């Protein structure tokens, strides 16, 4: 069985998507449709903007979503998933690619998500850090003893967790985790505490938009970030999506569950190859297939 997976924020690069625009009529049409939906020419920023342009949350998230979804669309009949999953933002790409959401509704939700997250970041000084080379359970144990807002945000692969919270909470956690034997505790250059309780204002705003968006049964099961379990039920999908911004991304658990569900081949759709590397660390036996477009 084959899974398609979709990356999240951080995979962007200048020039992303240009090939899809120039070489495929479907790609060009969808990019131009996106420009109209967003009320600005995101294609100009993606194809020839600066790295600073692409780091703006209101640009980054729609740009990665568009690159991922349009890549799936131009594959046409060659896009035959047995299951899909996306990392954080990538979950929205997976939902559109699997036809649980329309292209327009997916893009509008991603745009609203980026806007809401940016506003939440401005309320409380907050940040994230990557923790490498220490057991997941040990990180969780240390975080639970800290009297500040700091949580495990991304379970990316065994021994690689991203933590999220207030600046003081993350700094304290990094000190304690390094003292406990972690190989690295690396602060990330992000503007806020994604997938933590500090995203509650953003979750509330996005939840309203999600509740007022039509979701359909997807082509195949989608393994969602919140519970790492497969679903095709639109109500369950919406409920999990509502909880995503304040809950950890269970990527390690997701990949393991997909393998247990019969997946042997993974293809990453979107900019970069981050998920390919994580999947190989989680389950070295699986096959990674590239997209030849």
Q: Exposure pattern of 206-238 as b/e (b: 16+ CB <10 Å)? A: bbeebeebebeebbbbbbbbbbbbbbeeeebbb
Tracing tokens 């200048």 back to the chain, one arrives at 14
Could you give the 3-state DSSP secondary structure of residue 78?
Answer: helix
Please give the Cα distance from 272 to 16 (Å, whole number): 10
Cα 167 to Cα 216: distance, rounded to the nearest angstrom: 39
Name the token pair of 125. 């000084």
Residue 192's SS3 state is coil
To the query of whether residue 88 is one of the catalytic residues in this protein, the response is yes
User: Annotated catalytic, 67?
Assistant: no
- Active-site annotation holder among 68, 87, 88, 111: 88
Contact 95, 189 (CB under 8 A): no
Q: How far apart are CA 135 and CA 113, in angstroms?
A: 32
Measure the CA–CA gap between 266 and 276, rounded to whole angstroms. Answer: 8
How many CA atoms lie within 13 Å of 259's alpha carbon, on the beta-carbon side? 15
Distance CA 37, CA 35 (A): 6
Q: Are 106 and 38 in contact (CB under 8 A)?
A: no
The one catalytic residue in 68, 98, 195, 196 is 195
Beta strand residue intervals within the chain, DSSP E: 2-6, 83-86, 126-132, 150-157, 160-166, 184-187, 222-223, 230-231, 265-268, 287-288
Task: Indicate which residues carry an active-site annotation.
Answer: 88, 195
């Amino acid at each position: 069985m084959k899974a398609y997976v979709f990356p999240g924020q951080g995979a962007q690069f200048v020039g992303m998507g240009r090939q899809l625009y120039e070489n495929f009529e479907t790609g060009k049409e969808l990019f131009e449709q996106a420009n109209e939906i967003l009320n600005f020419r995101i294609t100009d920023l993606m194809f020839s903007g600066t790295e600073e342009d692409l780091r703006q949350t209101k640009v980054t998230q729609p740009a990665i979503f568009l690159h991922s979804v349009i890549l799936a669309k131009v594959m046409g009949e060659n896009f035959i998933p047995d299951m899909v999953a996306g990392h954080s933002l990538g979950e929205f790409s997976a939902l559109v690619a699997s036809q649980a959401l329309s292209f327009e509704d997916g893009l509008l939700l991603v745009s609203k998500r980026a806007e809401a997250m940016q506003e939440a970041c401005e309320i409380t000084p907050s940040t994230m850090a990557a923790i490498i080379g220490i057991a997941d359970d040990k990180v969780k144990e240390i975080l639970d003893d800290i009297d500040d807002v700091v949580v495990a945000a991304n379970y990316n692969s065994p021994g690689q967790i991203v933590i999220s919270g207030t600046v003081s909470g993350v700094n304290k956690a990094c000190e304690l985790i390094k003292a406990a034997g972690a190989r690295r505790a690396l602060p990330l250059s992000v503007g806020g505490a994604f997938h933590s309780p500090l995203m509650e204002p953003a979750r509330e705003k996005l939840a309203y938009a999600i509740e007022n968006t039509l979701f359909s049964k997807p082509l195949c099961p989608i393994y969602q970030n919140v519970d790492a379990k497969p679903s095709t039920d639109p109500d369950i999908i919406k409920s999990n999506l509502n909880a995503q911004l304040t809950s950890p991304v269970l990527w390690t658990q997701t990949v393991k569950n997909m393998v247990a569900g019969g997946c042997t081949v993974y293809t990453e759709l979107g900019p970069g190859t981050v998920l390919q590397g994580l999947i190989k660390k989680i389950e070295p036996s699986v096959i990674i297939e590239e997209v030849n477009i």
